[in-house]
Each structure stands twice: as structure tokens, then as C-alpha cells.
Amino acid sequence: MEPGAIELRNGFTVEKLKVLVVTLLNEVMLTLVMATVPEFCMVTVGEAPRFHQTSKCTTERLWVYLFKGGDSRPPPSVKTGRLISVTGKLQRDGWTFTCVSQGHLVHNTYKTGICINDDMGRIERQKLIKRIERARNSRLLVYITGDRKGLESRIAVDALPFCLNHLSRMGKQKKIDLYIYSTGGVTIAGYALVNTIREFCDSFNVIIPFKALSCATLIALGADEIVMTKMGQLSPIDPSVTSPFGPQISVPGPMNVTQTVPVNVEDVISYLELAKRELNLKDEDSLVRVFDRLAQSISPLALGTINRTREQISFLAKMLLSRHMHDEKKMEQIIQTITKGRFSHDYMVGRSEAKNVLGLDIVDTPARLDKDILNLYYEYDQLLQLSTPYNPEAVLGQKDTEVETFNRAIIESDNLAYVFRTTKEVKRVTFGPPQVPTPTVGYSERVLSENWIEDKDI
């Protein structure tokens, strides 16, 4: 017995009693987690950390919850991160687990640990999808195109076959809701998506948790009714045109790269309106000179594309509105406002304006449904890291070369998910003279693969 230790009976000391109590508390916590978590891995004390795994639980796809002594509160820095690796070293007061979580090392001493499979994210999303479907008495199709800075994706035609697979599995329905988050994309793809969904339902509706901008707003115009949360946003649908004949600019940097600049349709019209209205240019010669100056910056072929796109966007908007609206004057007012009346493509149309000014059919929802819609968005925000700007340095860490995979968009319904996934090689490189005056550290990136895939575990 250690000096100063108080002996109870049969050599049982207060210190041993404390250890027993802590052990019992940990066992209670483990039992509670095992009873409530469908997929878990438990790290136990031994010669090395051991993983007791279920069929889908692997050390590469884990979330870590560690309990220090009898403390049942997981450390916040570890709770929300994917566990990349665990190493263990036996210390006098327990195991020291070193967890690499979202690029951050977390060092702590814990007597017990539980690693939760990140399948929990999928389980939570599926639970929310089913709850929204019950509340809306509909089937739900989720289409998220990520706007993570540096890894943006957009609505495009390549997503249509995967949406069709979801719809084919659903079959003919009375009502289908499209849950959409996107900052835009190819307008004709959005138009085609609405028409495709309508082939499978009597009533087509859109749920907007947050951003449904540009092409996503065009999609919303085709809905019988729109569900928007209080932070839901629409935007003007005046598109930007990227043409091989568009203006070119040089990108600052050592590589001397040029890229084509997108041209906003309404910017071109605004330039011509400026000449006619503000500068009061009315005679034919003056207007010819103004147009000639414009054609020096933007190829006449690109200007032709811009004019055609402007006509097309109004036509598509009217076609979509006419599927559920029969008031010609109201339709023209909506199209005028959403294409020209807000002056900037960056203008955000909130829920109240969409309902009271534009006159769109924005439906009110119970507080519980509103909360579920937002919670589902937060799940996708975490899955696609929408709120985390891409940083090559965070990918590399201490390495000079690393291969990383990024989930950039998702199409999901009940028990089926397609993910747009990019795998790229990132290298840290140093540029020097004659490319740059002084040595500069930069990054070289090479896309190894980029495609839609079905992922049953995401």
C-alpha cells in the first residue's frame, strides 16, 4: 500500500474505490452510446488501441468521442472532426490518444474512447429527409451544388441522368419536392430538370433552405409552390455568358496564364442604355461609334451570343411560369423584375419580397418543418464543407505533395446518393527568377479524377 493511503477492508483503498467508480461511470457511458448509436467503434485500453468494428466501421471513416476519466462530455475540438488516425501510448493515468481531426492535432489523455462511424451523418440526413417527406406528404429529391470557395460546382446537364435515376426509383408521385441549394449554373439544364421532374408527379414544388440563385431561381419559377426558410434567397436570372470569343485577361502570377472573362447580359444592355439615355446620344453615327467601341472589347460573335441568351432566359422563365400560372400580366411583371428590375445579379430576393413583391406562391410552414429543413442544410454544409474555404496549405500540412478527395455536389433521396467527387494532386512548388523577381512559394494542382459516383456510405 502506498504511504498515506487509507485502507478500507481486505486491502481495498480509497484510491482503488475511485478507480472502480470511474470505471463504472465509463461502462455506463459506453452502454448508453451502444444503445443509441447504430454504428460505433470502441477504442479500448490494451497493448495498443484496438478497434471493435461493425461491418461498416473502419478506421478511415470514423468520428471520435473520447471520455477523459469519468467525464461524459466529448472535447469540442474533436467532436466535429473526422478521425484520420489514432495512435496510443500507455501513460500512468491512462492512454494518450493522438487524433488527427480536420488537419488539427488533438492531444489528450483519456481512459476510454468511442469512435463513431461517420455513417452517422448519412443516418441523420435520411432521418430528416423522411421527416420532411411525412410533413409535406411528398417525396423529396435533394440537389446541392457546393459553393465552397475554390471548389465551386454548378447546376449542369451532367446531373440530369442521376436525377432521373432517383425519379425512376420513386415512380409516379402525387407530389415531389426539390430541395435545392445552388448559386447557379447552366440555364437550359435547370429548365430541363423541372420538365424531367414534372414527368413523375402531379405537383412539383421547391424547398429553399438558403441559396437558390440564378439558375436555381429559374428552377423555382417552375414550381407550383415554394417553401423558403427565413434565410432563403433568390436572385435575378440575368445570366453571364462565357464564350471562346469573350474578352481575355491575364491572371497575375508566375505562369502568365490568360482566361476568358464571363460577360453579364444586362451589363452589355446597360452600357448601350447609358449611351442613349444618360449621354443623350441619339444620332445614328454616335450610336455606331458606341457600338464599335463595345465590339473592340467583346467580339461581335460573343455579342450575338449575349443577345440570344437574353431572349432565351425570358422565354424559359415564361415557359416555366405558364405551367402553373395563367395571369399573363403577372407573369410579365415577374419576368421583368427578375431579369431587369433589380439592376445587379448580386441582388438577393428574400422570402418576404419573393412573396409580397414578386407575387410568387411562397407557402408558410410549421416551425418544426422549418427547423428540419435548416438542419438538413447544416448536414450538407458539414458534408461538403461549404463554409470552409479551400486552402492548399491545409491539404499539404508538412508534406510537399498530397492527393486529396473533395465532395463538391450531391444528389440524394431516400436511400440513394450520387456525389460529384474530385480527386486532385496538390504540390508545393517554389518559383524563382526569371518567372518572378524573388523566390515565391506557390501550389501546383492536377486533377486526377472528377465525376459523379454512387456512394452508399457517404
Question: For 356-368, what is each residue's pLDDT tens digit?
Answer: 989 999 999 999 9
Confidence label for 355 from pLDDT (cuts 50, 70 and 90): very high
User: Long-range pairs for 423-427 at CB < 8 Å and ≥24 separation?
Assistant: 423/447, 423/448, 423/449, 423/450, 424/448, 425/401, 426/392, 426/395, 426/396, 426/401, 426/402, 427/400, 427/401
Residue of 231, 146, 157, 220 whose CA lies nearest to 183: 146
Between 300-304, 376-380, 438-442, the lowest mean confidence (pLDDT) is in: 300-304
| Amino acid, res. 201 | C
Residue range 89-129, pLDDT digits in tens: 333 333 333 333 333 333 333 333 433 344 558 888 999 99
pLDDT at residue 439, rounded to an integer? 82
**What pLDDT, on the 0 to 100 scale, is given for residue 35?**
46
pLDDT of residue 69: 36
- As given in the structure block, the three cell numbers for residue 11 are 486491502
Closest CA to 453 of 427, 426, 416: 416
CATH fold of the domain at 121-235+348-454 = 2-enoyl-CoA Hydratase; Chain A, domain 1 (3.90.226)
Q: Is 80 exceeded by the pLDDT of residue 186?
A: yes
Q: Which residue has the higher pLDDT, 35 or 289?
A: 289
Summarize the confidence of residues 295-304 as an average pLDDT.
69
Q: Rounded CA gap, 310 and 324, in Å?
A: 23
Q: How far apart are CA 132 and CA 207, in angstroms?
A: 10
How high is the pLDDT of residue 77? 35
Q: Report yes or no: 335 and 317 within 8 Å, Cβ to Cβ.
A: yes
Gap between the Cα atoms of 252 and 269, Å rounded: 29
How far the first Cα of the chain sits from its last, in Å, is 53
Grid cell, residue 99, equals 487524433
- Check pLDDT > 70 for residue 374: yes
Residue 170 has pLDDT above 70, yes or no: yes
Q: What is the pTM of this model?
A: 0.71
**Residue appearing with cell numbers 426558410:** 229
Interatomic CA distance for residues 434 and 97, integer angstroms: 48
Q: How far is CA 240 from CA 7, 320, 339, in A?
A: 81, 20, 12
| Cβ neighbours for 92, distance < 8 A, ≥ 6 positions apart | none
pLDDT value of position 244: 59
Most confident of 2-6, 78-82, 155-159: 155-159
pLDDT of residue 362: 96
Q: Do the bridges between strand 82-91 and strand 62-67 make them parallel or antiparallel, or are there none, so unpaired? A: antiparallel
Backbone φ, ψ for residue 263 (5° rounding): -115, 120
With cut-offs at 50, 70 and 90, classify the pLDDT of residue 298.
confident
Q: Cite the residue boundaries of each domain of the chain with CATH code 3.90.226.
A: 121-235+348-454
Is the pLDDT at 317 greater than 90? The verdict is yes
